[in-house]
Structure 1
Amino acid sequence: MAVYKITASDTYSGRTSEAQHYLHEKINCTELSELSKNTSKTIALLGYACDEGVKRNQGRIGAENGPSAIRKQLGKLPNHLKADTTLFDVGTVHGTDLEKTQELLSDKVSELMQKGAFPILLGGGHDIAYATFNGIKAHLGNSKTIGIINFDAHFDLRSTENGANSGTPFYQIAQNCKKTESPFHYLCLGIREDANDTQLFKTAKDLEVKYILRDTFRIQFHTEINAWINAFIQNVDVVYVTIDLDGFSSAYAPGVSAPSPMGFTPDVVLESLKTILSSGKLCALDIAELNPEYDIDDQTAKLAASLIHSVMHKLL
């Protein structure tokens, strides 16, 4: 089962002002169908409350509560958006049937893009990526090449032999690209050798996946990292960014489905995002694997909210 629900306006709260100094004062909660077509300078938040992919992948259950936790922290942050930039929360897709929930989310992403809004999706398990990509593809068709940039410790290229889960989205995308004879452009930043088995590295090689290992994905190498990102972006028409919070060190992100102290740090991600945004090709972003049940002082939710805050303020 999969359902779509509108976000209650009282979901967002924080300090009050008379000039929309805080995001909770800027955000309009509405149904997606209420957005006008050809909307310009519009950012739309859309939730994906689904745990089934994480459950199937033997992760810690609780990611379905990620969207609400992110919203709670995001609303408190200061608003530096231009007055003519509109910010909407267009609700959440909920579901326990993974495939139907992904399909519904994909439809919503496509609809948002058709209306000219920039989608920022709040997960939920990393199976959100399969739905986000399909929504982008449904909107663009075969007219443009899509480049996927994934900030993650894991390739998420597991086989679907035993069904789809939060570890299979990019393998599924690759297989779909093969069927439609379209290119599969995938760059993964922060890969850990202790988080991916030999078969996953082989699959990445077979699919010609570009990746940077965690040992290199460090702020002191940002010049080289930016060069690799730019080289990747040059070969695609649009870029879709997906951030798996379990790629960060658990010192920064304890509340995730698969925590590890060996992950990367926020500074190198923020630097990389600046490079991606400067290309003008970013078409959608999602953030996944927040598990509030295991968070400490809302640290992971605050990290997710700050990343979204940074992106939205550099978009328009």
Structure 2
Amino acid sequence: MVKFSFLQPGKPAVFKDRFVTKVNEQLIPYSEGETGEIGLIGLPYSKTSISLSQASDAPKTIRASLSSFSTFSGERDRDYEDVKILDFGDVQTHPTEMEESIDRLHISVREMLEKDACQRYIMLGGDHGVSYPSIRAFKEHYGEIGVIQWDAHHDVRNLDDGGRTNGTPFRSLIDGGHLKGENLAQIGIRDYANAKEYHSYTIEKGISVYTMEDVEQKGILPIIERELERLSKLVDVIYLSVDMDVVDQAFAPGCPAIGPGGITSRELLASISTAASHEKVKGMDIVEIDPSKDFRDMTSRLAAAAMLRFMYN
């Protein structure tokens, strides 16, 4: 006679330690009137990628990677199990129309912000093209916006050779009047990864550019602190845009545009912690992870760790 059943219909067979709270357990589907500390939305779009990319699959992979982390920080001797993460789900993009999809992303981020349900927000891409509609929504909601961009590339390509792509978000924002050049700081720009024309564009528009040589010589944390102080005097809100290809390929193999000579995973996490500690930082996007190119979800797990550094601050 069977006294106990170990069948769990509809539930995964996952070990549960009664003393451990995993970060994924904090995700709460948003419902009208609900409030929390962090708002989360997926922007699963990668059809604007210059190279073949399945970055549209990244939001679900990054969410799943949150189960690898607990809410307790031993370094701070603090448990963040009471932090509520409201999940607004993933935006349904159009199957074929690019501009329609960009509009949907813009409308959805704006709608999330208008709920006024959270203190800070995380947008999970998708390729870097999703930053264009997302940052526009933040600008419209909060006012003058400043951006700190972690990236190997300037992402200010011309729009004549293919329209809006994952290489054009900051050109689109600046030329469209949504972002002033002097309110953009680019960190981790890699050598032999950009064209002279786009280097000249950053100078013309007054963009603050920090190359990997700058990171090596000055250190990434002093650079972040300097830009936070500078931008906070110019803008109402600061937005962090994290292109994961800023990280060296040894630590982030799941990026479509991997390359050597990038920052380490520790530099990424430490710099996000420093940036997120500023009161004017309200949003962060994480982009350019292709789970199909990843190894044991290394890149998605690093993105999840970056989320923790942003949320638990």
- Please confirm whether the aligned pair reaches a TM-score higher than 0.5, indicating the same fold: yes
Of residues 43, 46, 66, the one that matches 2:41 is 46
Match of 1:24 in 2: 24
Shift in Å at residue 28 of structure 1?
A: 1.3
Give ranges in structure 2 of 5+ residues lacking alignment: 1-9, 73-78
Instruction: Give the equivalent residue in structure 1 for 2:136.
Output: 134
User: Deviations along 1:219-262, whole A, 9 cap, x unmatched?
Assistant: 97245424432343232221000100111111000111111022
| Structure 1: unaligned runs, 5 residues or longer | 1-9
Structure-to-structure mapping, 1:87-126, within 5 angstroms = 87-95=85-93, 96=95, 97-116=97-116, 117=118, 118-126=120-128
Distance in 2, Cα, partners of 1:63 & 1:14: 27
State yes or no: 1:183 paired with 2:183: no
In structure 2, do the counterparts of structure 1 residues 20 and 87 end up closer, same or farther at CA, with 3 Å as the change threshold?
farther
Larger mean Cα displacement after TM superposition, 195-204 or 89-98:
89-98
Q: CA deviation at 1:193?
A: 2.4
> 1:16: how far off?
2.7
Could you tell me whether the CA contact under 8 Å between 1:254 and 1:300 is conserved in 2?
yes
In the alignment, structure 1 residue 205 sits paired with structure 2 residue 209: no
CA contact (8 A) 1:60 1:258 kept: no
- How far does the alpha carbon of each residue in 1:65-114 deviate from its partner, in whole angstroms, 9 at most, with x for none? 11111111013321246455321221111434332222212222222222
**Which of 58, 71, 74 is the matching residue for 1:79?**
71
Residues 1:259 and 1:13: Cα distance change in structure 2 (over 3 Å): farther
The 1:13/1:85 distance shift into structure 2, 3 A limit, reads farther
Q: CA RMSD in A?
A: 2.4
What TM-score, normalized by structure 2, do the two folds share? 0.85
In structure 2, C-alpha distance between the alignment counterparts of 1:21 and 1:82, rounded to whole Å: 9
Q: Which residue of 2 aligns with 1:152?
A: 151
**2: CA distance, partners of 1:226 / 1:136:** 21
Q: Is the 8 A contact 2:23 2:66 kept in 1?
A: yes
1:141-198 CA-partner distances (Å, limit 9, x unpaired): xxx3200110000010011123110000000000111xx7x73411000011211110
In the TM superposition, what is the alpha-carbon distance from 1:217 to its structure 2 partner?
Answer: 1.6
Equivalent residue pairs, number: 291
Shift of the 170–223 alpha-carbon distance from structure 1 to 2, 3 Å rule, reads closer
Label 1:264 to 1:158 Cα distance change in 2 as closer, same or farther (>3 A): same
